Structure 1
Amino acid sequence: MFARLARRLPSIALCAAAVCCAAAFGGRAEADETCTHGGAGGIHQQPGVNCPYCAADDDVWRWRVLPPSLLFKPYIAGVKAARMAGVLNRVDGGRMGETTLDGSLGARIGIIRLGQDGPDADGWQFDIEAAAFPRLNHDEEMDLDATDFRAGLPLSYRSGPTAISFGYDHISTHVGDEFFERNPDFERVNYSRDALLLGVRQDLSLELTVYGEAAYAFARDGGSDPWVFQFGAEYFDEISPASGGPVAAANVQLREEFELGGRFTTVVGWQFREPETGRLLRFAAQYDAGKSPYDELFGEDETAIGLGVFYDF
């Protein structure tokens, strides 16, 4: 029996090799026909020609509800940009303590898009943004001294290196009860703005972006004048998605009520970018100088330097 098996070994080996080759080539052919594009929706098992994500990669425009990325990103050093952030500041000037924790609790998110897929896609997108900006006074047992609120309905468009955002923008401000108790002579300012806002971002290279913005308030109160302008520049040199890279940004805000004075902000740190959605996580130092970012302290000068964590949707 063993002799017969030995004589048949070459035939058995040949058949096994043929089966393995068929399986390998067949599996390879099937893999070639299978879409493995991860995208924001995961791995797709249907043929790539029928995959909307792959179609989007081929410059095909389509409608998409709740796109996971933005065509117009918040300004890295922008005043009152809607994001999740916390900055521990050392403040010189103002009336809200020498050490403060300034927060941003909000986001800008996509509602519907007509365009390509991905964070650097071309297309049209309607977003919604909202955020609260509380200031906690570390010197007074973390009292809530003030909170500003912002909400907006922007429509954005992107084509190659150029992105444009236009829409409605609201800002209002409120003072904390504990601040009133410490400052009984303080006169509350009912500062608010309802404005139309136009912003333009331009990528000069993969690393460098410049931008400008103008907002005209058609309804206002508390000493607000119609025009507010912002402009600035951002630099991000990503070494790799895993390790991130250095980031630096500067922003200037000019307000008509201060005769086109305002506030200067700069940010320097390290940033990570999620490649499929473009979301940003940043650890950075921040320096501010000029008018208080909290409009309850309307017109008061303050300088702040701090360290913070920032997350942009």
Structure 2
Amino acid sequence: MVTNRKFASVMACSLCCFSLCSAKEESRELTDASHVFFMSRAESIPDSQMEDNSDHYLEGYIQALIDMHYFEHHVVVIVEGDVVYLYNLPNNALISNSIISFVQDLPCVCEVKIKCDLNEEECERRRGYVMQPCISGVWFPQSTILFQPLIADPRQVKYSVAYRAGDRVIGEKAICIALGDNFPVYRWTNIFYWCGDLQIGIDAGIWAPFNFDDVSHNDKTYCELVNTDYLLGIPLDYAFDQWAFRMRLYHISSHLGDEFLVNRPEFLDLRANPSFEALEFFASYQVTRSLRFYAGPGFILHSDQSFPMDLYYVEYGAEWRFLSSRFCYQRLYGTFFLALDVQNWQVRDWDFDWTIMGGYEISKLAGIGRKIRLFASYHHGFSYEGQFFLERTHYGEFGVYWGF
């Protein structure tokens, strides 16, 4: 028994000594860790290693990154020294600028040049190690949409939650929630005379305001769902150079909230169903990377008899992004924005209805893709909540908005 205890003690002492020696050795290795590097971006290679690689290696590396983020645009990369040549950029200024910015941010890229087509010598040189797939379209393109959203439009399909104050129609204090997305289904590339892209998709959205002010609490709740709007649309987008166009056929319907009706039973006899189908056509022009204008008419094809709508409306506005920055460690782009949306509806006697919104947006890709926005806005004109569509109001909001 004593022998076993002595043996165990000797083994324990040996293990402790071995651990201490190993720890000292590891400490010396970590102290001399000048060769260890930390990548500030997950898609980056350290400059010291990139400088030692061949043009073909860097070419394949950059091509893989572009294909990962912008596959549907079929961009071709050629590297000669420190210069990166980009071929076959999409005929869309917003997306092309995003691709150029993406490549310029990569380490060991001193210059980016744009070329239209590969010559025979360049095609032959690439044939041995890369072949670009020849496809005329892409199913479910997800990097971006061709017609960028109208971010100040009160009925833009999006995800958002906002606190609303001062609305005399819905309530002086309200929480407004929107759930919706644009799902691109198929994109045709390099078509028509302008060699642009054509895309068809699906729009679907829900808007629901909850009133926290002047609630009668008949159903023992502290808030009430006032109204819910539902939208389903089929957008057809076309974009080339600095232009983007959208033709959308959509249906929208509205329903008073059950809690609102419980607390205000007098609205049971006043309830209407303001649903309609409409066709709209919008054009957008990207003046610079920062400034955009858009405008377009809409046509009411059919409306419910309980809430008849006149035939026409127009919508127009502008968006300005400024003080843009790049967060290299987080691999994000950020920019301040200011947006104005104006609408005139025939059913409202063509009176002005406008919304101004400002805030800060963050995205993974420069200028395109999905974003998250922190915003504050002011609306003056009419309500957009169902059968209160003809009621005048004004209010302020602040909240979070995410989507395209």
TM range (shorter): 0.7 to 0.9
- Structure 2 distance, partners of 1:25, 1:103, is 51
Amino acid aligned to 2:210:
L
Q: Is 1:137 the equivalent of 2:211?
A: yes
Alignment pair present for 1:282 and 2:367: no
SS across alignment from 1:127 = strand
Matching residue of 1:13: none
Contact 1:36 1:43 in 2 (8 A): no
Aligned in 2, Cα 1:215/1:25: closer, same or farther, shift over 3 Å?
Answer: closer
Instruction: Tell me the equivalent position of 1:176.
Output: 257
1:45-72 deviation per Cα after TM superposition (whole angstroms, max 9, x unaligned): xxxxxx9453895247831111111000
Mark the runs of 5 or more structure 1 residues left unpaired by the alignment: 1-23, 45-50
Displacement of 1:273 in angstroms is 2.9
Aligned twin of 2:159 = 84
Contact map agreement 2:67 2:74 (CA 8 A) in 1: no
Are residues 1:298 and 2:389 paired? yes
SS in 1 for 2:369: coil
Letter in 2 for 1:239: S
For the residue of structure 2 that corresponds to 1:264, the secondary structure is strand
Where 2:299 maps in the other structure, the secondary structure is: strand
Counterpart amino acid of residue 253 in structure 2: S
| 2:68 aligned to which of 29, 38, 41 | 41
Contact 1:220–1:226 (CA under 8 A) maintained in structure 2:
no
- 1:71 corresponds to: 146
Quote how far apart the aligned CAs of 1:93 are.
1.5
* Structure 1 Cα separation of the partners of residues 286 and 51 of structure 2: 45
Q: Measured at CA, do residues 128 and 57 of structure 1 come closer, stay the same or move farther in structure 2, by a change above 3 Å?
A: farther
Letter in structure 2 aligned against 1:58: N
CA contact (8 A) 2:74 2:88 kept: no
Q: Give yes or no for the alignment of 1:153 onto 2:234.
A: yes
Match of 1:191 among 243, 261, 274: 274
**Aligned counterparts of 1:104 and 1:53: Cα–Cα separation in 2:** 36
For 2:401, what is the secondary structure of its paired residue? strand
Q: Is the 8 A contact 1:102 1:136 kept in 2?
A: yes
Aligned residues: 280
Give the TM-score normalised by the residue count of structure 2. Answer: 0.64
Give the alignment of 1:1-313 within 5 angstroms: 28=54, 31-32=57-58, 34-37=60-63, 38-39=65-66, 41=68, 52-54=74-76, 58-59=88-89, 62-68=136-142, 69-94=144-169, 96-115=170-189, 122-139=196-213, 140=215, 141-186=222-267, 187-221=270-304, 222-237=307-322, 239-242=324-327, 244-275=334-365, 277-313=368-404
Q: Distance in 2 between matches of 1:261 and 1:296?
A: 18
1:194-247 CA-to-partner distances (Å, cap 9, x unmatched) read: 111101111111111111121101111212111121111100125224351210
Confirm or deny: 8 A CA contact 1:264 1:290 kept in the other structure: yes
Give CA-to-partner distance per residue, 1:108-139, whole Å, 9 cap, x none.
Answer: 121111127xxxx9411112111000111123
CA separation in 1, counterparts of 2:209 and 2:354? Answer: 19
Take 1:290 and 1:25, find their aligned partners in 2: how far apart are those partners? Answer: 60
Structure-1 separation of matches of 2:278 and 2:154: 16
Cα deviation, residue 33, structure 1: 5.3
Structure 2, unpaired ranges of 5+: 1-49, 78-85, 91-134, 216-221, 328-332
Contact persistence 2:161–2:175 (CA under 8 A): yes
- Helix, strand or coil at the partner of 1:74: coil
**Residue deviations 1:31-52 (CA, integer Å, cap 9, x gap):** 14524332463699xxxxxx94
Q: Output the amino acid matched with 1:127.
A: G
Distance 1:77 1:31, change over 3 A: same
Cα distance 1:27–1:245, how it changes in 2: closer, same or farther (>3 A)? closer
More strand by share: 1
- 1:236 is aligned with what amino acid? R
Return the alpha-carbon distance in structure 2 between the equivalents of residues 254 and 40 of structure 1: 43
